[in-house]
Chain A
Amino acid sequence: MKVLGLSSHFHDSAAALVIDGRPIAASQEERFSRRKGDSSLPIRAASFCLERGGIEATDLDAVVFYEKPFRKFYRIVSTSLANAPGGFRAFKGALHSWFESKLWIKSEIAKALGVPLDRVRFSDHHLSHAAAAFLTHDVPSAATLVVDGVGEWTSTTLGRLSRAEGAMVYDVFGSVDFPHSLGLLYSALTAFLGFRVNEGEYKVMGLAPYGQPRFVPELRQLIRHPDDGLFELDLRYFSHDRSVTRGWSAELERLLGPPRNPGRPLRLGREGTEFQRCADIAASLQVVLEEELLRLFERARELTGESVLCYAGGVALNCVANGKLAREGPFSRLLIHPASGDAGGALGAALAYCASHGIYRPAGAFSPFLGLDVSSAEFAGLTFDDSGSDSGSDSFQRTQSEDEFVEHVAQALADDEVVGWMQGGAEWGPRALGARSILARPDSPGQQRRLNRMVKHREDFRPFAPVVLDEWAEELFEGLCPGRELERHMLATVTTRKAWRGRLAAVTHVDGSARVQCLRPCDGPLLHRVLARFHALTGIPALVNTSFNDAGEPIVNSLDDGLRSARRCGLGLLAAYPHLVRPAKDPVPVPAESATLEPSA
């Protein structure tokens, strides 16, 4: 059975191809279109998936869209009725975009891909999320908890998925409907703190360790707990159901003070500064979110009786909460899909469709390297040849063996060079897992500031993550999750052991935490070898691993993207086996989102 899953028209559109239950290819559209958060119909990503699968669109048994648009439209109409005449602007905007394309998505997909209308199918938003987590792990049944902004109607769904002989079984135990939503609570406060919604949430998470949770009592007032053991928002403080541009009300400003002016730089500051107030709100939000999630975890355990939880939705990308919940929560195993946001819904929808026909992914670890491959052929099409000559002022070298390549890269890293790393298929999901990464030495003085300012052109407070040899993880970090399942895909934070904090200064946050990736040889054999060689040269079995992109840019996909980004970021070396490129500085200064002008964007 050949199934293409699609997510689009919201944010982070994506396509994923599943053949006989096995994920073959998956990618976000933004990787191809080079527009961050691209929400358009993922035609380029779908074409890539079909090409990788060696099939035509007409060979597909089904194209499954990750949610049910009519149900969503019903919710929007209901919201308008409940709020009229407030929310006119939201209604007007919604009407335009829904009548322009969203209501006709079935025919739009059929036409764009050239498939018959009856092959276009629709999953449920939260089923797509839950299935992505459940069907990419080898468990017979599990509790599922999906927490995000909102799907069709629901913002939180508590259920259970089981593999049965004929078809997968899906039971729903409880749900919370829009406008009550932990995801939208987080988004409202993200905007309140002056960051862009759907993009700035992880900045809020990164800001939290700088603060003290002194606003916890105030933030607890935003949430009520009805008898069903779930939650409700106190809507006096919110306006996300009435406005598409402002998620909070004047009441929230009375509670927390004025929102941060997003036009002003947010610089690391002392007590009493705007930075500190924002950090304190972020820290308080993190505490309250963790409390609510723990409550939901306990409810899920109680209702389902399962010992394994598949946790999904945009909120599941909060790796600080994930680490705590995995360690302190009621489940013995916590499973999260690496693309747990909406993009991952494309794969979840396709897997769920197969599973509903009794076709499951063959047993084995899920590999997230489902994106575009780096190929030597692509090098041939670029602006230099294999002779080692310098054309276009990039200096180019082709190594003769893996050993030579590994030695060069490890030595460059040991010499404190910042290296762009492109290897194999691109990662599925928002984290750089060693296929499209920027690597650097973690112990250089001022490395975090240097990388933020000079390379990634972003705010000083943003932390970096380490990639560590899996066999050394316990030595360097404490609080690792059981089996290091979450750390494998950089989905949880742990604590850097005090003895190592000096040598891991660039990847240890102010509170001693680190969002570590534990690298196993099977997940990146070449990077594992580089890391091992770097360890031999420096005594440090870890590197800085940050996504290979400039501010405001999607993670690089092709070699061409990598070269352009490497020039803009001023990287010392671009490594894509067997090639090594020393990029020239970009001759045309392309304006990046500047940290000084626009720290919040």
Chain B
Amino acid sequence: MNIFQLIIDYASALVLPAILVGFPLYGMFKKVRVYEEFVEGAKEGFNVAVMIIPYLIAILFAIGMFRASGALDFLTDGLRPVLAFIRFPAEVIPMAIVRPLTGSGSAAIVLDMIGQYGEDSILVKMAATMFGSTETTFYVIAVYFGAVNIKKTRHAVPAGLIADVFAMLAAVYVVLWLFG
């Protein structure tokens, strides 16, 4: 039995309906004009989505170009000798680079690696741990800051990237420690 599938099934089967029903129900109990309030709030959804479009275009087109340029191969080759020094396997370098840039791209890499090395391999475990323990940093930045029109992001990018670099290294060593 897949424990996580079970948790996800229960979470989406229980938590979400509980909120969807619970919030309006509690509102009604508190004599709130629930319908009017809901519509008032939901109005914002459209504006926010439209507001983040320019930010998303800016981020995604740069990332798209970067991926299409073959830069990944160059970077993998360039980093290989440096990372070999610290026992970081070359096979997971593409995953470590792509993970903060795109979610779908990194999912494709995991799938690719499963085909190449098998689900049980330690390399796939590393890549999947990288995928599961971090987020698509640049997408999150574009959406969250775009929604409130923040252009000067200050130390958000370096903080996010430092955490990402750390997570990529940690994923390798934690998997080596647990399964190696």
Physical interaction between A and B: no
What residues make up the interface of B, taking CB atoms closer than 8 Å to A? none
What residues make up the interface of A, taking CB atoms closer than 8 Å to B? none
